[in-house]
Structure 1
Amino acid sequence: MLSEKTIRGLITTPVFLANANQLAYQLHVSHQDASEELLLELLLHRLRTWTNKDVGIAVQRDLASLKWRVKYARKDLVRQSHKDATRELDKVQMLAGMEPQASNEAETLEALERLRELFKNANTRDWCGSILRFGQKETMVRFNNQTRRQFNNKLTKVCKYARQHRQHNQSSSNAKELELLKEWDDLMADPETSDDAVQLFIDQHGAYIDNIIINDPQVAFQGRLIKNFAHAGKDKYVFANLMAKREQQLKESK
């Protein structure tokens, strides 16, 4: 994910500004809309594998590798604009027709909070926030009288970007969890590991252990397992099996 500082640097480069202007002319949209479309296209495709550091260096050094990616991102958008907009997800279809409802106020507020974490670009955040607050029709009017095609194209890209962000976060979370489980494996592999050492591990990762055993009928006495591992009886072995099962699930999902 790019930082807000890196994004500001990217969208103020001469090559980005020139291609955004050309895109606005080719698609008959405002410069602001063209800039947002171009930025999203870069984040989703041409710069998808670049790190924040990669982009920062390319901006500072005015690298040709960045210039041609910006140019071809614009070309991709122009090519896409001549095709019928298709919605990739059922969720996109639902969101496109969503209108604000008083009964969903809590969900709306939660979604608005998440927008701040998800989108570094303020205008994209405002656009998504407008959908959540006011619905599709008013958002199209508020943002330069967008056409239905423009709205749907942008919505598809935003949802795709959000999905990729979630997948990235999930991948990072899984990696951290596997590290914790590797620590557990090392503990179990050591013949000198005592019940006290296991108890220390449980105490250090209490929230995680709770999540592993909660509501699992195989663990007869969950409280005793957490607080007094040495006297947990057969639950010790059930717990070890649950940890091994969780590790296998994570490895298979990679």
Structure 2
Amino acid sequence: MSLSGEYVEKLRSIDSYQVAVHKLMNRLNLKNYEADQLLYIQLTEHRLKTFDEEVLLIKIDEQDVRLKWAITYACRDVTRREYADRKKQENIKQSEVINLDRPDRLTEHDLNSILNLIPKLFKNHFTAQWCISVLEYGEIETRENFNMTKRQFSDKLYQVELYCKKHREKMVNMVLSKQQQDFLEEEATLRKFIETVEREDFRDEDFNELIEEHYEFIDDVIGCIPRLQQPKLLLEDFKTCSSIDKYKLVNRLYERLDELERKMIEQ
């Protein structure tokens, strides 16, 4: 969606927009113009994409409440995406520590981690033992132990490195700690709830179904929310509980996702 310069400035002057930009700057350590660009793109290409242009211009003029919520959600979209991208890059870096060509560059900690990882990565026992030998003893001793010529060693090394590149995602998952895996599972669950709430055709029944699917998880979330009017009803029948309790639960899901993503990026 393309807005005229006048309406771009009007959009950027809305208090919710300015607050969102500052949140992105603080959360993601961005400069003002970087945060502004990310937010603007997310808004115009995603959150406001379904708005009729004429209606959108009216909403900007009126600083409509629904528009302000779209800005808030867009800010969260950007934050989640940036956290996920940064975490993915970090995991890829970890997966790249397997360097059979220069094992001398590995720290002792990395070497021990990789030695434990190799039998899980390579199902072929011979290949796994060969990789371990290269990392522990180097090329010359490995060639002697496995009765290989220099050409055979080079060919095997090429095959192993090719396999690692093809299975990078598998390796990334393997280097994740148990805590990181738990974080990712919780993040996926939270996203399911939030994406359901943010749908334009959202129905309480859909939320009820998700609660049934993730009963223990939501029970735990509800247990952390103070001063609920009817916590049991909120868990058992979301549709009939009070709007205040609904709001508190949904708001807590957003807060929990924000907290989780901060933990993930800090690890």
With the length of structure 1 as denominator, give the TM-score of the two structures: 0.41
TM, length-normalised to structure 2: 0.39
